[in-house]
Amino acid sequence: MELNDRHILRQLFKTAVDAADPKLTLPSNLPIPPKGRTIVIGCGKGVAQMASVLEQSWDGDLKGVVVTRYGFSVDCKKIKVLEAAHPIPDENGLNATNCIFEALEGLTSDDLVIALICGGGSALLPAPPPNYKLSDEQELNKTLLNSGAPIGVMNAIRKHFSLVKGGQLALAAYPAKVVTLVVSDVPGDDPAQVASGPTIADQVSIQEVISFINGYKINIPANIKEYFEKEIINIPSIGDTRFIKNEIKVIASSKISLMAAAKKAQDLGFHSYILSDAIEGRAADIGIMHAAIAKFRKGENTIFQRPAVILSGGETTVEITGKPGRGGRNTEFLLAFALAIENETNITALAADTDGIDGSENNAGAFCDGYTAFKMREKGFNPRMHLMKHDAWAAFNAVDELFITGPTGTNVNDFRAILLN
């Protein structure tokens, strides 16, 4: 891979992440200070950075508590920042949920709650239903993450097995007004789906949840399936009058970040094309599809003027069968892409998660070109076997193609950029 190509792809990723920086997106979306108290709550991989900016931008007193992933914290003076596990919840997440509920006790209609919601919050706010344990919610999350089901399906199931998701946190704040500021990491940017919508009601019924489980053949534990069949709690509906005065604002999203990256590509002398900000499906299949589009540029009637940058976002999935390998959906996408463009010239690509962590390891994603798969074989790694074993990280690590950024402080999900020279 040419260093210049790698440098350009890094610039595009940075531009996409910068477009979702709370320093740019949060201050202009803040509500008017209330007569009473201001309480801040929140969850997600970028929530600590959001809380820090809020503290610096807020005209008046405030306090509260937010929870982020281990290693993603930043210092705040007035807002307590807790850390918990992701993607499988842990005891610290359970304690954080309790702390947030405690922060909402005794509020009045003169008070204001600012909810900072960012991707990753589903795991960070566990709260299993009565008579169920944290271990039950952990098993449910493991099953969902390995199922290959779309994120909307996973979150619908999570909401109905929770005392906090699906708007229940907003009900705990009533009669205070709740203003939810959302950094969206879900395809389509439905704020009710981000972090499973702890402050936003949803319209998915328990009957639909059961149909999702059966339709996607999700093998959830028997005791949890039994719970769904005789659901004890009822999550609030969209028409609940207690939500009437609440406000919801999506302040950052994949679409906004991709548009910023497209503009940057144009400034660098490339024609830019955004396929979509909401691509879903199996990571390997989507990788093959992107490779087909990239190779199509050589046709006589191609729509792409060269040099070009093809951009896309969304959230793919990986269905795990057997023992999982290392890596995440972006490296799996790119390994399938690398195999499909093998021996092609003038194609260079980056696939990465905008939060800085792709799956199980510490990399955001990886780079590849038409010779990456060949280099892997030279190092003794069979790329197709690693794809089948969901172990893309090892293959990319062997050829020094991992993309490592550390925590970015935001999360608008998958970022894919393909250079066509």
Whether the link from the prior residue into 236 is cis, omega within 30° of 0, is no
229 phi/psi in degrees, rounded to 5 = -75, -15
Overall residue count recorded for the chain in this entry: 421
How many alpha carbons lie under 13 Å from residue 36 in its C-beta half-sphere?
13
Residues of the chain above pLDDT 90, percent: 89
Please give the backbone phi and psi of residue 49, each rounded to the nearest 5 degrees, phi first. -65, -40
Buried b (16+ CB within 10 A) or exposed e, 341-355: beebebbbbbbbbbb
For the chain, residues with pLDDT lower than 50 are: 1-3
Burial state string for 300-312 with b = 16 or more CB within 10 A and e = fewer than 16 = eeeebeeebbbbb
* pLDDT score of 297: 66
Q: How many angstroms separate the CA atoms of 41 and 139, rounded?
A: 26
Q: Which long-range contacts (CB under 8 A, 24 or more apart) does 139-146 make?
A: 139/221, 139/224, 140/220, 140/221, 140/224, 141/87, 141/88, 141/89, 142/88, 143/218, 143/219, 143/220, 143/221, 144/218, 144/220, 145/87, 145/88, 145/320, 146/319, 146/320, 146/321, 146/324
Separation CA 287–CA 294 (nearest Å) = 11
Task: Give the right CATH number for 3-15+255-420 from 3.30.70.370, 3.90.550.10, 3.40.50.970, 3.40.1480.10.
Answer: 3.40.1480.10
Q: Residue 69 gets which letter from DSSP?
A: E
In this prediction the pTM is 0.93
Give bridge partners of residue 81 from the DSSP assignment: 66
Q: Where in the chain is the domain with CATH 3.40.50.10180?
A: 22-252
Tokens 């992440």 — which residue? Answer: 17
Q: Which residues contact 184 (CB under 8 A, 6 or more apart)?
A: 119, 190, 191, 194, 250, 252, 253, 254, 412
Dist. CA 421–CA 8, nearest whole Å: 12
C-alpha 219, offset from chain centre: 23
- DSSP lists the bridge partners of residue 248 as 180
Q: What is the model's pLDDT at position 300?
A: 59
Q: CATH top-level class for 22-252?
A: alpha beta
Cβ-proximal residues to 105 (8 Å cutoff; 6+ apart), any chain: none
For the chain, state the CA radius of gyration: 22
Taking the C-alpha atoms of residue 324 and residue 28, their distance in angstroms, rounded to an integer, is 43
Task: Give 272-339 as a DSSP string.
Answer: EEEEEEEEEEEHHHHHHHHHHHHHGGGSTT-SPPSSEEEEEEEEEE----SS--S--HHHHHHHHHHH
pLDDT, position 404? 98
Amino acid 162: pLDDT = 95
* Cross-strand partners of 317: 282
Domain with CATH 3.40.1480.10 in the chain: 3-15+255-420
pLDDT value at residue 202: 87
